[in-house]
Chains A and B, each alone.
Chain A
Amino acid sequence: SQTIHQWPATLVQPVGSPLSLECTVEGTSNPNLYWYRQAAGRGLQLLFYSVGIGQISSEVPQNLSASRPQDRQFILSSKKLLLSDSGFYLCAWGLLSTDTQYFGPGTRLTVL
């Protein structure tokens, strides 16, 4: 069966510091991968998605970036965090054939 991991589970970072969040998927090959952000009390915002290694599409211009160095690894990064980057970050993998997405447990990021 497929599983998706995210780490860390929680993170507190000062403004201006760098960020690296990691997501890995097991049990499937060549999945679509997604990064979402959920701000407090708000819905889901799609940040990036990837259909293959090295292929990244950005949905929202901002100071975040994403990379996919391996088939089942998806990384969200920032060189300098802003207060507005605080939120709950969710990674998901999906099947293009049915558009079904499966979510990881999330990372709670607090920028102080």
Chain B
Amino acid sequence: AQSVTQLDSQVPVFEEAPVELRCNYSSSVSVYLFWYVQYPNQGLQLLLKYLSGSTLVKGINGFEAEFNKSQTSFHLRKPSVHISDTAEYFCAVSEGNTGKLIFGQGTTLQVKP
């Protein structure tokens, strides 16, 4: 069965610094991978997704993620964060033709001035 591990529950970073949020998954089949962002008291917003093709995926708000099949990772990066990036970030993997997603426990990104 698939699973997703977000290695950091909280990531504090100063404004304009680079950030990486780590995500590892386990799956025995080809998967689709997703990153979502959740601002306080709001629903989840899709940041980016990997379905196939180029392993470097660019998303909204300057975020990007790289699919690494050998390391079963899908880390999220941004070269320079803003205060407004403070939010909860969720990594997810598809369960394979069931329409269901398996979510990680989330990483809280705290951007400090």
**Footprint of B on A, CB under 8 Å?**
6, 32, 34, 42-44, 46, 49, 51, 88, 90, 92, 94, 96, 98-106, 108
Contacts and interface: CB of A to CB of B under 8 A. Distances in A.
Nearest to B34: A100
B89 to A, nearest CB: 11
Contacts of B105: 42-43
Contacts of A43: 90, 103-106
Given A43-B90, A100-B34, A100-B49, A105 B99 contact: no
**Helix, strand, loop or mixed for chain A's interface?**
strand
B70 interface: no
Interface in B69-113: 90, 94-95, 97, 99-101, 103-106
Contact of A103 (B44, B94, B99, B106): B44
A100 B46 contact: yes
27 contacts: A6-B43, A34-B100, A43-B90, A43-B104, A43-B105, A43-B106, A44-B44, A44-B103, A94-B99, A96-B97, A98-B49, A98-B51, A99-B32, A99-B95, A99-B99, A100-B32, A100-B34, A100-B46, A101-B46, A101-B101, A102-B46, A103-B43, A103-B44, A103-B45, A105-B43, A106-B42, A108-B41
Q: Among the interface residues A32, A44, A46, which one has the most CB atoms of the partner chain B within 10 A?
A: A44
Interface of B: 32, 34, 36, 41-46, 49, 51, 90, 94-95, 97, 99-101, 103-106
Given A6-B43, A106-B42, 7 more contacts: A43-B106, A44-B44, A44-B103, A88-B41, A98-B49, A98-B51, A100-B34
A100 to B, nearest CB: 6
Contact of B44 (A90, A94, A108): A90
Nearest to A102: B46
